[in-house]
Chain A
Amino acid sequence: MEFSFGASATKIITTTGFSSLGGGDAIMLLVACVLLYLAIWKKFEPLLLLPMGFGCLLANIPMSMMQSTDSGGLLNFFYQGVKHEILPPLVFMGVGALTDFGPLLANPATLLLGAAAQIGVYFTLVGAVYLGFNMHEASAIGIIGGADGPTSIFIASKLAPHLLAPIAVAAYSYMSLVPLIQPPIMKFLTTEKERKIKMEQLQPISQTVKIVFPVVVTIVCCLMLPGVTPLLGMLMLGNLFRESGVTARLHETAETHLINIVTILLALAVGSSMTADSFLRIETLKIIVLGLLAFSIATAGGVLFGKIMCKMTGGRVNPLIGSAGVSAVPMAARVSQKVGSDADSSNFLLMHAMGPNVAGVIGSAVAAGVFISLFGDTVPEPHAAIADVIGTVEPGAKAAIAQVVEALQH
Chain B
Amino acid sequence: MEVSISAAVNVSVLAMAVIFAVLVILIFTIQLLVKLMPYKAPPPAPPRRKTAASASSEDDHVAAITATLAMHMGKSPSDFRIVNISQR
Contact = CB atoms under 8 A, between A and B. Distances in A.
B20 A115 contact: yes
Interface string A124-140: 01100110001100100
B53 interface: no
Nearest to A219: B29
A374 B11 contact: yes
A121 B23 CA distance: 16
- The secondary structure that dominates the B interface is helix
B15 to A, nearest CB: 4
Interface in B23-43: 23-27, 29-31, 33-34, 37-41
B16 interface: yes
- The secondary structure that dominates the A interface is helix
Interface residues of B, number: 30
A160 interface: no
Contact of A111 (B11, B23, B40, B41): B23
A216 B24 CA distance: 14
A118 B19 contact: yes
B31 to A, nearest CB: 6
A140 to B, nearest CB: 13
Contact of B30 (A203, A206, A213, A363): A213
B9 interface: yes
**Interface range for A:** 35 or more
B22 to A, nearest CB: 5
Interface stretch (A169-177, A262-270, A364-372): A364-372
A208 interface: yes
B38 A224 contact: no
A203 B37 CA distance: 13
Contacts of B12: 122-123, 125-126
A111 B27 contact: yes
A205 B36 CA distance: 12
A189 to B, nearest CB: 19
22 contacts: A105-B30, A105-B33, A111-B24, A111-B30, A112-B27, A119-B16, A121-B15, A122-B11, A122-B12, A122-B15, A125-B12, A135-B4, A205-B34, A206-B34, A206-B40, A220-B26, A221-B22, A224-B18, A362-B23, A363-B23, A367-B15, A370-B14
Interface of B: 1, 4-5, 7-9, 11-12, 14-16, 18-20, 22-27, 29-31, 33-34, 37-41
Which 7 A-B pairs have CB atoms at the shortest separation, nearest pair first? A122-B12, A108-B30, A129-B8, A370-B15, A206-B39, A111-B23, A208-B37
